Every structure is written in structure tokens, then in C-alpha cells.
Structure 1
């Protein structure tokens, strides 16, 4: 699949913003001319997959203006005015588990069309993607060794067959990213708006990390992860393993957590998948990365937690499902959450880390996707409270409204994993229920120094702005 250019954020200083543009072209099609201010930019060949070459252009634009770059006959404006008012978008859950690529494009990308129209009127300075950028669950159909994943993993295979599996999965991931990235409204926004992305389970496969150890540790599963990780680096970060030490907080690449700063705001994204097991969310490398990310932050911190950091007492539901053997899938889905009984100590550690950021003088806002609903929450703190905003998903179909109402009723039980810091789930501005069952995306803005957030909902439209 051909797509691109897709802009990836690399960082900024007082003079320039560094960017990368990634694209996929058929092997016989060399890249067209790429230039900034009539100065040509040479491409870097990142990989070749299934008859396609993945290319990257590294370049810089001057800050403080609407700058431009050119590719072929097209010129793309990029708003680099970061010091004053700021517009940041947040999206998640861009797909569905089954049949995503067969959906009617107009229906599938309805909210992307809405976002693109908004970006045309008021350009975003940055787009955050909070997980499940693609739904790759069906890539396992690409090869006989994974066709019955994860229920039937054969031990009867050769190294050559494992390598053949890897190449088949690489092609399947490319095809899936290509279909998603070449959609007209997505492509229009992403060629003009730099992105920062963090993966979640569906970028690998449903429930990755919450599956049983005998599945995750199997050579076939590790081959699946290897292909998914390469695709994450290539298509979400315009990177290869050689770039990992420069782009991510963990030099070894076991954790792919990152932090980037804009004037007045630090954006931190822990990696909640690479080291995940049924009994932990992050390993030693991930926690070390988190420790380094939370030093010397800006006055505002946006914490991208791919699964919601603040939530209701899901451990009660988990106990019920486990005790009465209710559908195993739901039990695994609950195991994926910070609120799982298996992760409570680790959840407390992360919440304390957030409170430590407040002690540095930062105001912290957590943003999350994953649950296919829109909601918000507040954790009490001496500094005024930590807010969480959940926007999920931009193209995943909304669950039934009865599900949202039931979860909202359950949320009234409250939760306080840290003594003295209760968590409260709250409706979106202008909404009456704690959870909104509509496709959605989130908008941040810093306007005259004041930070606000607004949800764009498929049926209800834009919410009133919420002061953060």
C-alpha cells in the first residue's frame, strides 16, 4: 500500500522544529522531489516490505510562522507558532476488531472528516494518537502458523517457517497501516500536522500482554510481536531500531516510552505494552523511563496513558467474572486495565508518580483512549486535582448506550487506591451521564495562557470547553 507523507514530531528549539515525513511507495516508484524553501531534502530508505519501500525525509522548519514544505507538485503548510496559543488534538481507537478494512470508507472515517474540516479552519500544532492506531487483530490470518491464533499454536515448525511467518506478518501490517493511512481525511490532516503516537494492544493483537505466559512466550507469538514492533517503529515513529536511542527514553528499546516538550508543556507517554505481562504493566526499563521522563517538567504535563489511568472499581467486576466464570474475554479485557486487582500496587505507584509531578509545580492532565467511550475523571489532590480526559474512539463503533449507562452506574461506587485521593468519574461538559457512547475525538487548546479541552462527539457535536 502506498501512503504519505505522514509527519512525525521530532522536537523543537527556539529557532526550528525538527520533523520526519514517512511514506510507503511501490519498489519501482522512487520518491518525488521533497524540499523546504527550494532546498532539496534527500530521502532515507528505512525498509522494504512486500514490494514496497518505506522512506523517510528528515527536515526542519522555522518556528513562529506558518511554514511550508513541498513534495512533488504539492505544498503543505505547517503551523509552527508554539509560544502563544496552542491547538493539540487527541485521537484513539482508529478501527475495529473484525472487518475493519471492509467497512464503507465514508462511514468508517466520518469523524476523521469532521476533524479534517476542523483542522482546515483552525490548524492543529500537534496530533496525539493514544493507542490502537490500527486494529491489527486479523493479521494473524496471513499465515498458517497463526491462522488459529491464539488457541492453537503448533510446536511443529522450522526456523525457515518462522521466518516465512515474519515476512507474511510484515506484509499484513503494511497493508493494514496503508489502508488506514491512505484514507483521504486522515492523509490530509497528517501531511500538515506533526504526530506523536503510543501503541496499545490492537496495534499488536487483541489483549497482548494479558494473554497467558505460555502463549506470549511461544516463538510464534514472539514473531508476531517482532513484526508488530517493527511496524510501530516504522509507521508510527518513522524509525528503525537504529533510531531507538535517539527517540525513546530507554536506550535498550525494551520500553518505547517517550517525552517531548513544547513551550510550557511536557508530553509524556509511558509504554504500557512492550513489557506487559498478566502480572505487570511495565517492567524495570519502563519504570526507569518513567522516572527520567518526570524530571524537570514544564508547568503543564500531558500524560498519555493508553489505558485510562483514573477509573472505577473494576476489580469488583473482575472478581465477579472470575468467580462465576463469565465470558473469559471480558476477564482478559479487565486484566488490561490499571484498575485490575493484579495491577493495584503498580497503579498506586503510577498515581503517586503523578502526584510527585504536582509537587514539582506542574498541572497534570492524563489523556487516554481504549474503552470506546468518552468520559472524564478527577483525582483529588492538594494542588487542585488531577484531571483525566478519555476520548475513544475516532472510528471504532460506539458500544450500546445501555453499556455506557451500566458502567456509569457502577462508577458511582467510587475508588480511592491512594488514601486521601478519591477518584470521581464525571460526565462531559453538557452531558448528563458519566460515559458518552458516541464516536469522538478530543481537542486541547491553550488560549491566552488558559488550558481548555473539548470533545467532538458524533451525534451530540462539540461539548462546551472544559477548563483544565
Structure 2
């Protein structure tokens, strides 16, 4: 059950950084102005709450503290002890999830159905604890927050030309109300709340954390006064609720302390996790802007021994989506899906940038003493892919999506599998193949799912947990061709 102190929801643990042999953590609480959360107690420390945001009757509080990164630790809050499996130096487990919601009616779904896979993830932690929980995008589905206000009711199809400053201020207040309510409901869910109090999270955003298709919509929408207000509120709430941060107060793991983009990275013993920002600088003609590319180039040049988990909210390796885009040009009723395909690395609009990203990943992978795996969500299916990286190495792409979003029809999964049969070779000499999950017959599995990453004796393996089929056999991630 979630820990409540009257009207307080939390704690929600967020990893600020790993440095100096310590996990630097934020514990987030959502409550009211009238009731300050009681302090967190550690063996030799008492940590008081700091108010970081308010909206209406809701107040968000934060407590920052640190624990060793080479052992299990315990903290106490509200007369209850919470264990953190914080040893990142040897064998460890990571959980990867994405797509925690749905576009329509998510707030009205029955809790035990909606959070069934969260319950399984909770049981996995009880069986063998996770050190960290990685969230790969669409942690919140904000698509309906624009409803109920005259400026945004018809978003993105219809927006006013020149709204007044007063009307935009009222819209900002309306949107903040809706975002705060959604995050509060998510963190109050008992299945997630139990995990979030014990497993530090690292989060990367995607379009639904803002609105469906953000960055792939026409510039007349995203650069309008309404669009910019929506983005500003979504970004503020993303920082507050997914990073425990505010403007000018970003954790040390963020690449740009000024927040022009929100890419981040952490390093532990023989483990690096990179999450470039694929939304802040996105447009219809690019996925990443100068800031995110600077992050990737800096990390590529930096010496690192071990395994890099590269989080790409949209799948880095995928089928020939350009064929679908071609069909849309001649079938008018399919054109409404153009923004969905333009969101992908595989879109015709992003072909050169996709090649650049694949070459960057290949160069990282080929460094001595180094391996790399790409992690993605977004498509509401489970799948995997491999790219021949040369020198007898493979780049693995693991897709786990979604933890709460219900799966699309199995016919869609079969169609994508048929499309993947054609193969793809955007980077000459480095063909991409979409592969079934271990034990599965089809390339795409249309079931809700999450991913578990295990490091044992220095070797990594991945296991998908599928709602109907159960866990797959472990997939080795040693970078060598499939055996």
C-alpha cells in the first residue's frame, strides 16, 4: 500500500546522480500547503521537506539525501522503514518501463486493470530487488489536459490567432491544474507507489508527456502562443514530478545545467546510462537539436569501460517506415497518421539524422572494453532488433512498451512484422534485422510488458515480462552475433 500521512502521497524516489560512492536522491511528496511531510530519517541524518511547487490546493515537497552506492540502505519515513537496493558495483537489476497510460479516458480506468503490470513489477522487486527503475517516455498521458479551455479546446486543429496575455495566463493556470491532477493520480496508484518508495527512478520524456506528436505537429501549432504555453507547462511539470527539480536547480546528471535541453547521463561501476532529449529541440525536420548532439558527441569521445544503456524514447532500430509514409501520400484517410510516423527515427524526414545517430552508436560500441544496448518504448508492443556494427559486434535494440497502455490489435503487430521482413540498411554495411523475443514466433508481441536487465558476473541479459505469455528466456547482451 502507498504510504499516506493524511493527504500526502509519497515518497517517490528519484536519482539525482551517482558520485563519490553515493546515490544522490530526491524523495518527492505530493500533498497540501497545510501539512508538511514529516522528515526522512537516516542513521545519522534528519532530512526536512522543502516546498518546490504549488498549484491550487496541491503542494509538491522534496527531500534530498544520499546513501552508499555499494550496499543496501534503509531510510525511515512516517514510522516505516524502506530498503533501497543501492549496490551498483556488482550484480544488479534494472527495470525498464514506458507508456504508463492511454490517450483517452486514462483517469477513469479501473485501477487493478490499469496497473496489473505494475503489480507484477512490484512482485519482481520483492523476489529480487531492482537497483534502479528506468522510465522510457510517456510517463503521463497529457493529451486531454487541453480540453475545457476556450484557447485550447480544439488543439491542435484550431487555435486562436492572437490571444491576450490575460487569456494565456488563464490557460497556463488551467493546464497546470490538469497536469498536477494527472501526476497526483499516477503517484497515488498503490502498485506504483510501493515501488516508487523503494526503487530510485530515472525518467526520459516523450510526446505524451507534452501532447500527442509534440514536435511532429506543424510549426503553426507548436510555435503558436497556445502551443508554447502548453510546452512550457508540460516542461515545468516534467521537471517537478519526474525529476524533483525546478528551473535553475537541475540535478548534476543533466548535461546542460541551464536546461536548454533536458538530456542527462549517469555513471556507475562499469555502467553508463545515457538519455538524450528527443523532444525539447525537436521539429518536423529534426529529432535532436544542437544541445543533444553535443551531449552525444561528448559522450562518444569520453573514455568508458563497461556497458552503456542508451535510452531512445522512440526506437532507434526499426522497419522501413518510409514505405508507409509513401502510402499516406496517395490514401487520404491515412494522412491523419502522418505525425505518428514522422515521430520515428525511420521517417523520410529524419533519414540523414538517423544515419548520424546509428553511426554514433556504432562508434561507441566499437570502443575497446565497451558494449552498448539501446532501450526504447513508444510503440505499445514488445520487440527487439539487431544491427551489424562491424568487427564481429551487434548493436541490440530492446523495446518494452507499454506498462499500462493496452496493446494494439495483433493484426497491427503482424503487419509490422511483415514490413520488417523487407529489412532495412540505412547505414551502408550495417543491416538491421527485427527479431522475435526469445521463445516468441512473431517479431512484435502485442501484449503489455516491461523489461528486466540483469548484470551477473559482469555479463548483461534482458528478460521481457509479457502480460499473457509471461517472462521470456534471458537474452544475452554481450554484443556478439546471436548464437
> CA 1:142–1:293 in 2, change beyond 3 Å: closer, same or farther?
farther
Match of 2:373 among 355, 365, 370: 365
Alpha-carbon deviation of 1:325? 2.3
Aligned to 1:436: 445
Contact 1:375 1:391 in 2 (8 A): yes
Q: TM-score, normalised by structure 1?
A: 0.98
Aligned to 2:481: none
Q: TM-score, normalised by structure 2?
A: 0.95
Distance (whole Å) between structure 1 residues aligned to residue 168 and residue 267 of structure 2: 41
1:118-129 → structure 2 map (5 Å cutoff): 118-129=124-135
Report the aligned-residue RMSD.
Answer: 1.3
Aligned to 2:211: 205
Match of 1:424 among 430, 433, 455: 433
Aligned to 1:328: 335
Alpha-carbon deviation of 1:66? 1.9
Aligned to 1:463: 472
Q: Deviations over 1:386-418 (max 9, x none)?
A: 000000001101011111011101100100110
Q: Secondary structure at the match of 1:137?
A: coil
1:44-443 → structure 2 map (5 Å cutoff): 44-244=50-250, 246-294=252-300, 295-361=302-368, 362-383=370-391, 384-443=393-452
Q: Deviations over 1:83-140 (max 9, x none)?
A: 1101000000000000001001010000000100111111100000000001110000
Distance (whole Å) between structure 2 residues aligned to residue 329 and residue 98 of structure 1: 17
Q: Secondary structure at the match of 2:416?
A: helix
Distance (whole Å) between structure 1 residues aligned to residue 306 and residue 476 of structure 2: 16
Alpha-carbon deviation of 1:243? 1.6
Gapped regions of structure 1 (runs ≥ 5): none
Bigger shift: residues 402-411 or 325-334:
325-334
Contact 1:257 1:290 in 2 (8 A): no
Alpha-carbon deviation of 1:436? 0.1
Q: Secondary structure at the match of 1:309?
A: coil
Contact 2:248 2:257 in 1 (8 A): no
Gapped regions of structure 2 (runs ≥ 5): 1-6, 478-483
Q: Deviations over 1:31-55 (max 9, x none)?
A: 1121111521122221111222111
Distance (whole Å) between structure 2 residues aligned to residue 297 and residue 128 of structure 1: 21
Alpha-carbon deviation of 1:215? 0.6
Distance (whole Å) between structure 2 residues aligned to residue 13 and residue 22 of structure 1: 21
Q: Deviations over 1:14-63 (max 9, x none)?
A: 53211111111111111112111152112222111122211111101123
> CA 1:240–1:293 in 2, change beyond 3 Å: closer, same or farther?
farther
Contact 1:354 1:364 in 2 (8 A): yes
Q: Secondary structure at the match of 2:73?
A: strand
Contact 1:127 1:194 in 2 (8 A): yes
Alpha-carbon deviation of 1:358? 1.8
Q: How many residues are aligned here?
A: 468
Q: Deviations over 1:357-383 (max 9, x none)?
A: 023222110000000000000000124
